[in-house]
Amino acid sequence: MKSLGSLLSLLAFVASGVIALPHESQSTFEVHPGFDLDLGAQRLVELEGHQRIWMSELEKIQAKARGAKFFDVTETEDLGSLNNLNMEPTAFYSLKATERVFPILKTLSTKGPRENLEKFSGFRTRYYRSDTGKQSQQWLLRKIQEITSKYASESLKEIIAIKEFPHSWGQNTIITRVNGSSTDDDSVVVIGAHQDSTNLWPFLPAPGADDDGSGTVTILEAYRALVAADFRPIHTVEFHWYSAEEGGLLGSQAVARHYEQNGAHVLGMSQFDMTAWVKRGTREEVGIITDFVDTNLTEFNKKLVTTYLDIPYVETKCGYACSDHASWRKAGYPSTFTIESSFENSNKNIHSANDRIDISDEFSFDHMLEFSKLAVAFAVELGGWTESK
């Protein structure tokens, strides 16, 4: 009855209006320049146990402010309908590419992530329905193109495709694809982070340095190091920067639904959401999420941490629909999620104007670097490496 209890709790919360948000009510909506958001629009929300209820956009914002985690399935009601969860589980074997991975890890740096995150968290908000959310997405797209132009060889550029996955709200998901050499299958390895940010009240400033600016630049640095190393995978490797995670995993659901409907073979998906925080007085470690993930891929992820990172992992949980890996699992694909620490020791400044680089010495670019190592290892170990003939 846990799922029913969660549903009833949320229904009671919505009815109570317990969160008092500035200058708004359900009957009177203030117009905010730079935002395209209808607070009265009805949205279909899915909670743990697959319970679905309709609520207004304002009620959805209030629920998120209270800590509720959910899918907004208004545009993706059929995600997972092809029953991919009934597919045979994928087996992930021993690591085979250490001689390829370790040299790349030595080329990773905190310089690029610091410069990129200073710019990326400088937008007033990256909320997916804001003008600055669109601007930040376009800046990120240009940065990916710039890195590719600067670090990839001319022949490598021929197998790289950078594109926007369009969404109705305007801030698009970015997909960067390094095509694999295999002609035997069409397997895809996905490494993801979400680019948007939010405050508890979306119209307030939301620099989102840790959530999820840190994950965004973490996988961007991994991508830079891989193309600089002339990475030519056997299986296609894609880097995804999702829009609208904070709106109920909207962007990743749309992408996963597209892949599911087109019969894509996703070998594994790894999510990087919050990678910078080391709580004062705690041991530096990597949080491996163990609930609502693929067990086999998560065990493989642990092997990667133990082999390639300089810090240990700790098992932790984050709940239903807590980040974009959940969209891929719902579509039937193996997914795993790694976070900056145990969930209870993670950054408590998120979803506020204080989610900044300079708020505390607990924000660590050296810690982020460990996650870039993990992204590189995931790409090479699952994607393989095409040997020169």
Catalytic residues: 194, 211, 245-246, 273, 351
Tokens of 329: 């699992």
Please report which residue ranges of 279-349 form alpha helices under DSSP H.
Answer: 295-308, 325-330
Given a contact cutoff of 8 angstroms between Cβ atoms, the answer to whether 297 and 268 are in contact is: yes
CB contact at 8 A, 337 and 318: yes
What is the number of residues in the chain? Answer: 389
CB 235 within 8 A of CB 241: no
Contact 204, 284 (CB under 8 A): no
Query: Which string of DSSP letters, residue by residue, matches 38-69?
Result: -TT-EEEEEETTTEEEEEEHHHHHHHHHTT--
Q: Is 145 left (phi over 0), alpha (psi -120 to 50) or beta?
A: alpha
- The backbone region for 159, taken as left when phi is positive above 0, alpha when psi lies in -120 to 50, beta otherwise, is alpha
Structure-token pair, residue 348: 């408590």
For 267, the enclosing helix (H) or strand (E) is strand 265-272
Residue type, position 172, single letter: N
Give the C-alpha separation, 341 to 316, whole Å.
8
Cis peptide before 212 (omega within 30 of 0): yes
Which residues, at least 6 apart from 136, have a Cβ–Cβ distance to it below 8 Å?
120, 123, 126, 171, 195
Residues 27, 130: Cα–Cα separation, whole Å: 22
Secondary element (H or E) of residue 288? strand 286-289
Give the max Cα distance, the chain: 68
Type of residue at 282: T
User: What is the C-alpha to C-alpha distance for residues 201 and 184, in angstroms, rounded to an integer?
Assistant: 49
Helix (H, G, I), strand (E, B) or coil at 191: strand
Query: Is residue 35 classed as helix, strand or coil in its secondary structure?
Result: strand
